[in-house]
Structure 1
Amino acid sequence: MQDIVIDRSIENLIKEALKQNNATLVAHYYVSSDLQILAEESGGIVSDSLEMARFGQNSDAETIIVAGVKFMGETAKILSPEKRVLVLDDQATCSLDLSCPINEFSEFCDQNPDHIVVVYANTSAEVKARADWVVTSGSALKVVEKLHSEGKKVLWAPDKHLGHYVQSKTGIEMLMWDGACIVHEEFKAEGLKRLMQLHPEAGVLVHPESPKDVIALADVVGSTTQLINAVASRPENMFIVATDNGIFHKMKEIAPNKKFIEAPTMGEGADCESCAHCNWMAMNTLEKCLDTLSTGKNEIRISTQIIEKAQHSIHRLLEFTK
Structure 2
Amino acid sequence: MSQNLLQLHPLLSEEEMLREIERLRVERKAVILAHNYQRPEVQRIADFVGDSLGLARKAAETDAEVIVFAGVHFMAETAAVLNPSKTVLLPNLEAGCSLADTLTAADVRAWKAQNPDGLVVVYVNTTADVKAEADYCVTSGNAVQVVASLPEDRKIFFAPDMFLAAHVERQTGRKLDVWLGECHVHAGIRPEHIDAQRAEHPEAEFLIHPECGCASHAIYNFPDTPLLSTEGMIHHARRSEASAFIVVTETDMVHRLEQEVPGKTFIPVHRSARCEYMKMITLENVYETLRDLSNRVSVAPELAERALKPIERMIAIG
TM-score, length-scaled by structure 2 = 0.90
Aligned residue for 1:49? 52
Q: Which runs of 5+ in 2 are unaligned?
A: 1-13
Q: Which runs of 5+ in 1 are unaligned?
A: 1-6, 265-273
Matched, 1:287 2:293: no
Q: Confirm or deny: 8 A CA contact 2:43 2:49 kept in the other structure.
A: yes
Q: 1:164 aligns with which of 163, 166, 173?
A: 166
Aligned residue for 1:182? 184
Question: C-alpha distance in 1, partners of 2:85/2:150?
Answer: 33
Aligned residue for 1:13? 20
Question: C-alpha distance in 2, partners of 1:171/1:36?
Answer: 38
Question: C-alpha distance in 1, partners of 2:274/2:263?
Answer: 23
Question: What one-letter code is carried by the residue in structure 2 that aligns with 1:107?
Answer: A
Q: 2:128 aligns with which of 125, 130, 134?
A: 125
Question: C-alpha distance in 2, partners of 1:135/1:215?
Answer: 23
Question: C-alpha distance in 1, partners of 2:170/2:85?
Answer: 40
Question: What one-letter code is carried by the residue in structure 2 that aligns with 1:255?
Answer: V
Aligned residue for 1:94? 97
Question: What one-letter code is carried by the residue in structure 2 that aligns with 1:244?
Answer: E
Question: C-alpha distance in 2, partners of 1:319/1:92?
Answer: 27
Aligned residue for 2:306? 309
Residue correspondence of structure 1 range 249-268 to structure 2 within 5 A: 249-264=255-270
Matched, 1:145 2:148: yes
Q: 2:252 aligns with which of 243, 246, 249?
A: 246
Q: 2:293 aligns with which of 282, 292, 296?
A: 296
Secondary structure of the residue aligned to 2:149 is helix
How far residue 207 of structure 1 moved from its aligned partner, in angstroms, is: 0.3
Aligned residue for 2:212? 210
Question: C-alpha distance in 2, partners of 1:258/1:219?
Answer: 18
Q: 1:23 aligns with which of 17, 30, 39?
A: 30
Matched, 1:66 2:63: no
How far residue 76 of structure 1 moved from its aligned partner, in angstroms, is: 0.5
Question: What one-letter code is carried by the residue in structure 1 that aligns with 2:30?
Answer: A
How far residue 111 of structure 1 moved from its aligned partner, in angstroms, is: 2.1
How far residue 316 of structure 1 moved from its aligned partner, in angstroms, is: 2.2
* 1:55-88 C-alpha deviation (Å, 9 max, x unpaired): 1222221110000100010011111111110001
Question: What one-letter code is carried by the residue in structure 2 that aligns with 1:18?
Answer: R
Q: Confirm or deny: 8 A CA contact 2:158 2:177 kept in the other structure.
A: yes
Q: Confirm or deny: 8 A CA contact 2:38 2:252 kept in the other structure.
A: yes
Q: Confirm or deny: 8 A CA contact 2:56 2:315 kept in the other structure.
A: no
Task: Give the superposed CA RMSD.
Answer: 1.6
How far residue 108 of structure 1 moved from its aligned partner, in angstroms, is: 2.5
Question: C-alpha distance in 1, partners of 2:316/2:196?
Answer: 43
Question: C-alpha distance in 2, partners of 1:21/1:300?
Answer: 17
How far residue 8 of structure 1 moved from its aligned partner, in angstroms, is: 6.0
Q: Confirm or deny: 8 A CA contact 2:30 2:65 kept in the other structure.
A: yes
Question: C-alpha distance in 2, partners of 1:34/1:19?
Answer: 19
How far residue 151 of structure 1 moved from its aligned partner, in angstroms, is: 3.2
Question: C-alpha distance in 2, partners of 1:60/1:68?
Answer: 20
Q: Confirm or deny: 8 A CA contact 1:24 1:56 kept in the other structure.
A: no
Aligned residue for 1:135? 138
- Percent identity, aligned pairs only, is 36
Q: Confirm or deny: 8 A CA contact 1:118 1:132 kept in the other structure.
A: yes
Question: What one-letter code is carried by the residue in structure 2 that aligns with 1:75?
Answer: T
Matched, 1:116 2:145: no
Question: What one-letter code is carried by the residue in structure 1 that aligns with 2:44?
Answer: I
Q: Confirm or deny: 8 A CA contact 1:54 1:79 kept in the other structure.
A: no
Question: C-alpha distance in 2, partners of 1:214/1:295?
Answer: 48
How far residue 177 of structure 1 moved from its aligned partner, in angstroms, is: 0.5
How far residue 215 of structure 1 moved from its aligned partner, in angstroms, is: 4.3
Instruction: Point out the more displaced range, 12-21 or 97-106.
Output: 97-106
Secondary structure of the residue aligned to 1:256 is coil
Q: Confirm or deny: 8 A CA contact 1:79 1:311 kept in the other structure.
A: yes
Instruction: Point out the more displaced range, 49-58 or 125-134.
Output: 49-58
Aligned length: 301
Aligned residue for 1:276? 273
How far residue 103 of structure 1 moved from its aligned partner, in angstroms, is: 2.0
* 1:30-75 C-alpha deviation (Å, 9 max, x unpaired): 0011111111xxxx21111232122122222111000010001001
Question: C-alpha distance in 2, partners of 1:214/1:109?
Answer: 33
Instruction: Point out the more displaced range, 160-169 or 207-216.
Output: 207-216
Question: C-alpha distance in 2, partners of 1:320/1:239?
Answer: 28
